[in-house]
Structure 1
Amino acid sequence: MRIALVAESFLPHMNGVTNSVLQMIRHLELRGHETLVVAPDAGGAAQPAPSGRTALLPSLPMPAYPDVRVALPSTGRMTRVLRDFQPDVIHLASPFALGWKGQVAADVLRVPSVAVYQTDVIAYAERYGVPGAAPLASAHVARLHRRATLTLAPSSASQQQLAALGVDRLRRWGRGVDAERFRPERRSEAWRASIAPGEVLIGYVGRLAPEKQVDDLRVLCGIPGARLVIVGDGPERARLERELPGAVFTGFLGGDQLAIAMASVDVFVHPGESETFCQTVQEALASGVPVVATGRGGPLDLVRSSVDGWLYRPGDLDDLRQRVLDLVGDDAKRRSFAAAARESVRMRTWESLGDQLIEHYREAERLRPLDEAARSRGLPRPAIVQPPQRRQWRRYVALGDSLTEGLCDTSRMAPGEYRGWADRLSRLLAQGVDRFEYANLAVRSRRVRDLVSEQTPQALALKPDLVSVFIGSNDLASHGADPLRLAVHVEKAVRDIRATGADVLLVAPCLPAIRAARIFARRFAVYAAEMRRIAAATDSYLLDVAAMPALDDRSMFAPDLVHLSSRGHRHLAYRAAEALGVPDAEALGLLDDALHEHGRDDEHRGPWFTVHAVPWMWRRMRGRTAGDGLVSKHADVVVIPGGETARRRQQS
């Protein structure tokens, strides 16, 4: 892949954003990917990325914090820079000003973007006290992240914060730690002696700026037998030196010097309440140093109270002092917490985080075409529901209408019989299962009322552990249909099924890409949005057919342009398997489609209006349906040969 990383700050200004970008560049290059860093130009001190390409854009220093540079190129210039690189994915590192331009350029170029939320600019605006700045910052952050293809949040607190702003497409992605650089063996008695011989050292590492709330550490000054050590620099240093009597200020430390300082303190403290992650807490834990941090933001996911440190009540400085005193006065507890601290970060390597990031890039690549398809139809982009953890199912029941019955999927079937996507899905799910059972209760022309009154009770009587629900198209194509009211009934059915412990695969229907279907577009869009909401509210799996760009291809539909062709049913089955977590479902689907390349169902299409539309309208006028008198094809479970069963049959 070719990845463009648009960073709000970069070398020589070292902070969490710069460090993360540098780590990712190294990892991406190691994995064989190409990178471009787009960042503000720091003038004469500017430094390019250690590998890959770098594009530095003209910038201005922030008045109150000249080390921080702000670049505001025109959208045209940003688009040209990115177009020249031809990225597959655009990584927005802590986006705000430059990141907004990167997002706009991503939309112009139709390239997926992954926005990494790393700086709580809303809290910063509040701390700096600029009138009206916080609401503006909040609105901008929400707008930017809602446009990004995918947003990565470093902690549960930041996920909740973004979700409250209406940001969807959220994924959790933390930060790695260099456990080789930050380790207990770096502890230096010589360094300790140079700071405060024979005293317990209470350390803080970070930027000296208002949002870090370093002045809260004044309650730690004057603790008998202890010394406060402040590592870092920033615009608040002069004031803090006056307000923290007796504290030792080392200035900025980096590299091995920082690692030695971190491992050489006895207790690490961090009072900042606006940390989305707090990398220095993680580095302290890796160094085998117990941590006392505020119980808000990133530290909530890092510090285990009474195991490797303490979380004190936010804003309660008496509690902060008591937590620190607890560790300062107990050598044995410090040693116990220190051992647990090192163990807690053992699996948080930059290598594992880098591989996770690449998977997020690939997910964004899959999502962007869905967004384009939705936008072309005038629909909101599909919300991506994070499904519950996949388990191995043994009894699957399919509910719905003709689409789930399999109408028009005649592939390898006797005359008058149909397969369908649910039948195909059952075989994919049966792989590796000794005995997999399947029932299909779907019947053509059935409606939501039939789902509630007939199909759901029948399904529950079969005691399934997986149920698919794909229904609503017949209702939505009827006069006066109310998609919101229909969704209420579907939600009741889904909740009844989920109450038994069974999983649900909820399918949001779509319209074929033909002009005649446009009169129903708004109904289908509202209904699909409700299916996404229901899936999220009930922890169900979601197959968002409405957002599948492949279904714009006429060959996915049968000659009536209403039902799916065999190719369409194959496509739907593999997309459903992918939603349910079946390994390699996408690759299998592409292979299956290639094998059927010359057997597509696009022959004998005839005049659509007279062959298909007129008979349908005639039935509707007479109050009849194509499903009158029909029953489901698998009213009871049938056994589908799975991995073990198939092997036994082969052996016999």
Structure 2
Amino acid sequence: MGDSVRRRYVALGDSFTEGVGDVHPGLPNGVRGWADRVAEKLAKHEKGWEYANLAVRSKRLRQIIDDQLEPALALEPTLVTLYAGGNDILDVGTDMDRLLEEYAGLVARLAGTGATLVLFTGYDVKVAPLLEPLRRRNWQYNARVRELAREHRAVLVDYWCFDEYNDKRMWDADRLHMSTAGHKFLARQVLTHLGVPTPIKPLDWEPLAHRSTLEWIDAQREWLNDWVLPLIGRKLRGVTLGDSLRPRWPEPVKVPRKGGLRRYALEHPEVLEGRGPAFPL
């Protein structure tokens, strides 16, 4: 490719793509995430990459279609990443047939741009037997994502298959979002699927320390109090932590080859103006 070729990456989705769990106070919404990391490596690999991230935490599929699809199409991307529907799977009343039909329509619209399209399966989270229906929904979702990837010749990042996420250090304290290590690993996977060389290395961890039964119980109590109960409370009130947030990078920015988006934010402090605090979920 010559340097005059336009290269524009647009990311759509929810907290998974926004970058929740990878805290960075100097970036919009206080997070970084795998998509930012992918954009930075693309810019180092080839000159001229532009990047927009329209994802907002807590958004359901219908909201992503309504709020992000047309802006994404208007940006005329050459690369699109999409993960959407995970929050719907966690909602009790979700009609999976309707969800997957709407997801298929979204994928078709994005594939129709001619851009390279990257799709993701959802991780097979281990849950209590009471929540087993959520796992079955996830399997159903993943099967449809794989079918659509084949149908539209999209790049499939089969997140479900990554055994590395069995390590709890790949997850943030809420156990729902990836930690910084998890985001780094996923960025490396996306880049590998795109054929882009990357020096991002997985962490070489020591084995996990053994915890006593009392320590395990204390950890479960802390998790319930700090994350699960507040989440249930928000669901009962019909509010989400994405309600007051804007997309992190709503307009394409030319990613600096040196210093990446952190340098861009330092040189363009207006991207942080009016931003609220970074929420954990």
Counterpart Cα distance in 2 of 1:569 and 1:522:
25
Which residue pairs with 2:54 in the alignment? 441
**Deviation of the 1:635 alpha carbon:** 0.5
Contact 1:436 1:642 in 2 (8 A): no
| Structure 1 position 593 matched with structure 2 position 206 | no
Q: 2:120 aligns with which of 484, 504, 507?
A: 507
Of 156, 165, 188, the residue aligned with 1:574 is 188
Instruction: Give the Å deviation of 1:456.
Output: 1.0
2:253 match: secondary structure? strand
How does the TM-score come out when normalised to structure 2? Answer: 0.79
Q: Percent identity?
A: 35
Cα distance in 2, alignment partners of residues 415 and 448 from structure 1 = 23
Residue matched to 1:494: 107
The 5 A counterparts of 1:240-639 are 394-410=7-23, 413=26, 417-515=30-128, 518-583=132-197, 585=198, 588-589=199-200, 591=201, 593-594=203-204, 607-639=222-254
Note if contact 2:28-2:248 (Cα within 8 Å) is conserved in structure 1. Answer: no
1:460–1:501 CA distance, 2 compared to 1 (3 A): same
Say if 1:484 and 1:530, in contact at 8 Å, map to a contact too: no
Alignment correspondent of 1:151: none
Q: Judge conservation of contact 1:410–1:417 (CA < 8 Å) in 2.
A: yes
Q: Tell me the distance in 1 between the aligned counterparts of 2:169 and 2:239.
A: 29
Residues 490 and 592 of structure 1: is their aligned pair in 2 closer, same or farther, counting only changes over 3 Å? Answer: same
What amino acid does structure 2 have at the position aligned with 1:617? I
Q: CA deviation at 1:517?
A: 5.5
Bigger-Rg structure (1/2)? 1
Q: For the aligned residues, what is the CA RMSD?
A: 2.5
The structural deviation recorded for 1:485 is 2.2
Shift in Å at residue 484 of structure 1?
A: 3.2
- Is the 2:6–2:48 Cα contact (8 Å) retained in structure 1? no
Please say if residues 451 and 493 of structure 1, whose CA atoms lie closer than 8 Å, have aligned partners that are also in contact: no
The C-alpha deviation readout for 1:171-227, integer Å capped at 9, x for no partner, is xxxxxxxxxxxxxxxxxxxxxxxxxxxxxxxxxxxxxxxxxxxxxxxxxxxxxxxxx
- Tell me the equivalent position of 1:277: none
Contact between 1:560 and 1:608, CA under 8 Å: does it hold in 2? Answer: yes
Structure 1 residue 564: deviation in Å? 0.8
Separation in 2, partners of 1:496, 1:416: 28
Per residue, is there more strand in 1 or in 2? 1
Runs (4+) of structure 1 moved beyond 2 Å?
A: 411-416, 482-485, 511-519, 591-594
Q: Which amino acid aligns with 2:78?
A: D
Report the secondary structure of 2:241's partner residue. Answer: coil
Structure 1 residues 550-606: Cα deviation after superposition (integer angstroms, max 9, x where no partner) = 1111111101001111011111111111111223x4xx34x3534xx59xxxxxx77
Q: Is the 8 A contact 2:185 2:202 kept in 1?
A: no
Q: CA contact under 8 A between 1:512 and 1:551: conserved in structure 2?
A: no
Whole-Å Cα distance in 1 between the matches of residues 22 and 28 of structure 2? 11
Q: String of CA shifts for 1:243-286, please: whole Å, max 9, x gaps.
A: xxxxxxxxxxxxxxxxxxxxxxxxxxxxxxxxxxxxxxxxxxxx
Q: Is the Cα–Cα contact under 8 Å of residues 18 and 33 in structure 2 kept in the other structure? A: yes
Deviation at 1:483, TM superposition (A): 2.9
Q: Which secondary structure state, in structure 1, belongs to the residue aligned with residue 45 of structure 2?
A: coil
Cα distance in 2, alignment partners of residues 446 and 470 from structure 1? 11
| 1-structure distance, mates of 2:159, 2:27 | 28
1:441, distance to aligned residue in structure 2 (A): 0.2
Measured against aligned partners, the alpha-carbon deviations of 1:498-545 in whole angstroms (never above 9, x if no partner) come to 222112101111243343764410000000110000100011111111
What is the CA–CA distance in structure 1 between the aligned matches of 2:52 and 2:37, rounded to whole Å?
12
Q: Aligned runs of 1:97-246 on 2, under 5 Å?
A: none
Aligned partners of 1:471, 1:553: CA distance in 2, in Å?
24
Q: Matches of 1:506 and 1:478 in 2, distance apart?
A: 22
In structure 2, distance between residues paired with 1:541 and 1:426? 16
The separation in 2 between residues aligned to 1:405 and 1:617, in whole angstroms, is 22
Q: Which runs of 5+ in 1 are unaligned?
A: 1-391, 599-604, 646-652
Cα shift at 1:467: 0.7
Measure, in 1, the Cα distance between the counterparts of 2:15 and 2:58: 6
Partner of 2:114, secondary structure, is: coil
Paired with 2:155 and 2:9, the residues of 1 have a C-alpha distance of 14
Deviation at 1:479, TM superposition (A): 1.1
Whole-Å Cα distance in 1 between the matches of residues 93 and 124 of structure 2? 18
The count of corresponding residues between Structure 1 and Structure 2 is: 243
Query: 1:416, 1:427 → 2: CA distance?
Result: 18
CA distance in structure 2 between the aligned counterparts of 1:576 and 1:420, rounded to whole angstroms: 12
* Preserved contact between residue 464 and residue 502 of structure 1 (Cα < 8 Å): yes
Q: 1:514 to 1:559 in 2, by over 3 A?
A: farther
Distance 1:393 1:543, change over 3 A: farther
| Pair 484,565 (structure 1): closer, same or farther in 2 beyond 3 Å | same
Tell me whether 454-463 or 426-435 shows the greater mean CA deviation. 426-435
Give the TM-score, by structure 1 length: 0.35
Q: One-letter code of the match for 1:439?
A: A
The answer on whether the counterparts of 2:117 and 2:155 sit within 8 Å (CA) in structure 1 is yes
